Amino acid sequence: MVKNNYPDLSEIAELQKLFLHSLNLGTGRAMLLMKGYPQLDFSKELIAASARNLANDAPSEGSRADYLYLLIRRAKNRALIEKALLQRLKNKKSGACNLDQLCGLALYFYRDGNLHAREIFLERFDKSFHDDYEFCGEEQILKMDGLQGLFKLADKIGRLPEDEWPWYEYRWNIDDFQKANPELDVFAEFENVAKENPYIHNYFKLISSIAPFKRIRRKIPSAYTVKDIEELINRPSKRVGFNRDRTLRMPQHEIIAVARNFLDEKDKLRKFRYLRFFYATRFPFDYAPLLKIASGKKNHQTMAVNNAVLALSHFSGADIRALALKKMQEERIPCEYLHLLVSNYQAGDAEMLVEIIGRAKNFDEVHLLVQGIIAIFKANPVADSKAPLEAMYYNMNCGMHRRDLVELLNDNKVLSDEILEELPYDSDEDVRKLSRKIKRQRSAVVMNQDKTV
């Protein structure tokens, strides 16, 4: 809804601050602010968020170009923003995730009629093969120029020393391009051009030697044996993980055998490795040995305390809860110990969890808490989960975990209309999909209610 009254200077500063905070998180609140205050200038905030990928784990979450482009397209000073970002792309030498986001935006600008965006993009793409400039634009060049873009990419890479070619193997991009253009025989076209151009031939030879990506049908995993567990425990790597599906398929007598091996183990490092196994499945005896380890001092090399706490998440007990409350007071960011409340949560703990979230001084510290908060409220679908889950939602810049938070809010029937309204504009595609699913569910409920009236 458009606000008719123009805000005063202090209100403008606060709105711009809220807008930038939303951009940091990647939430749709930024879009609602733009719609509500079309007269305000958010150029500075949009340039800052576009020049640097602000996601908590940018390599995993990917570019936010599609999210940012929708905002830039609506911006009051759109031309100024585009010019500033294209200049950043032209001059930026390194930072793969930031470059990918800028390249993605340049592609959007070009498709929307900005021919200068194409010139700048191609200039920066060429610089990728100069000293001191990081490679970028391999995905966008195919979307921008189609087959000709593929040939440009191949020609550039084929001119490099042969020992550098494997660093530029982008077979998956070519397979994706073929899938998006089924009317073309991409490899046949590629091969024809390669006959006339020795540099393209070099790259075609490299790509042809690599098998296309095939999605492997997931097989039902077999249960671990006691021998399998012992082999994993004996691995030289510092950290050991166990497949939860394989663990849960183990017969109880073998789980008991593993537990006895854990109790009999004298080597501390090996003993602590077993604890991760008992996070995947419940320890079959009294939890006292686990509690003793969990109560000790943390050692980031052995991960003993952390793994023991995870193993204790299956158990409830007054002494476990007492340890949890003690650590919540002693540790400023007690991320490991939140799991002690998974089976020991009590009414009123939500207030304590909100206070703990409030201790976080930056996005990284908030992110440290998210797995514990999610685990607690998956196990305890209670109404008072609303405040802690919302505190995480409004303070965490991880799109992947934001989907889990929204799903929990919805499942626990505490998802607010305010949050639901902004979900369609979220930076995370899975969050956007979830918002559509939730709206369909709510519409179906309303229709069923109308039928019964």
**C-beta separation of 51 from 88 below 8 A:** yes
pTM: 0.90
Q: Look at residue 4 in the predicted model and tell me its pLDDT.
A: 53
pLDDT at 339 over 60: yes
Give the sign of the dihedral formed by CA 242, CA 248, CA 249, CA 251.
Answer: positive
Task: Report, as an integer, the average pLDDT of 195-219.
Answer: 79
**Arithmetic mean of pLDDT, 178-205:** 92
Q: How far apart are CA 69 and CA 50, in angstroms?
A: 9
- Low-confidence winner among 271-275, 285-289, 333-337, 444-448 (lowest mean pLDDT): 444-448
Q: Which pLDDT value is given to residue 214?
A: 58
Q: What is the mean pLDDT of residues 399-413?
A: 96
Task: Provide mean pLDDT across the span 97-124.
Answer: 97
> Cα(388)–Cα(354) distance, rounded to whole angstroms?
5
Give the total residue count for the chain. 453
CA-CA distance, 347 to 387, in Å (whole number)?
13
- Model pLDDT, residue 294: 96
Residue 6 scores a pLDDT above 80: no
pLDDT, mean of residues 248-262: 96
The band of 257, judged by pLDDT with boundaries at 50, 70 and 90, is very high
Amino acid 450: pLDDT: 64
Confidence class of residue 207 from pLDDT cuts 50, 70 and 90? confident
Q: What is the pLDDT of residue 18?
A: 97
Mean pLDDT of 400-421: 96
Q: Give the span between the Cα atoms of 431 and 418, in whole angstroms.
A: 15
Residue 220 is predicted with a pLDDT of 79
Side-chain-facing half-sphere of 264: CA atoms under 13 Å: 6
Once rounded to an integer, what is the mean pLDDT over residues 211-220? Answer: 63
At 306, the amino acid letter reads: N
CA distance linking residue 392 with residue 27, whole number of Å: 12
Alpha helical stretches, state H, 159-251: 171-180, 186-196, 198-208, 226-233, 244-248
Q: How many DSSP H helices and E strands does the chain contain?
A: 25, 0
What is the rounded end-to-end Cα distance, in angstroms, of the chain? 32
- State the pLDDT at residue 440: 93
Strand, coil or helix: 45: helix
Q: Which of 96-110, 392-406, 437-451 has the least mean pLDDT? A: 437-451
Asked whether residue 216 carries a pLDDT value surpassing 60, the answer given is: no
Average pLDDT of the chain is 93
Work out the percent of the chain whose per-residue pLDDT is above 70. 96
DSSP, collapsed to helix, strand or coil, labels residue 241 as coil
- The CA distance from 205 to 373, in Å, is 50
Phi/psi for 95 (5° steps) reads 105, 85
Q: Does pLDDT of 447 surpass 80? A: no
Whether 386 shows a pLDDT value over 60: the answer reads yes
Residue range 237-241: mean pLDDT, rounded: 75
Percent of the chain whose pLDDT exceeds 90 = 79
Q: Say if residue 393's pLDDT is above 80.
A: yes
More confident: 176 or 316:
316
**Cβ neighbours of 306 (radius 10 Å):** 21
pLDDT for position 17: 97
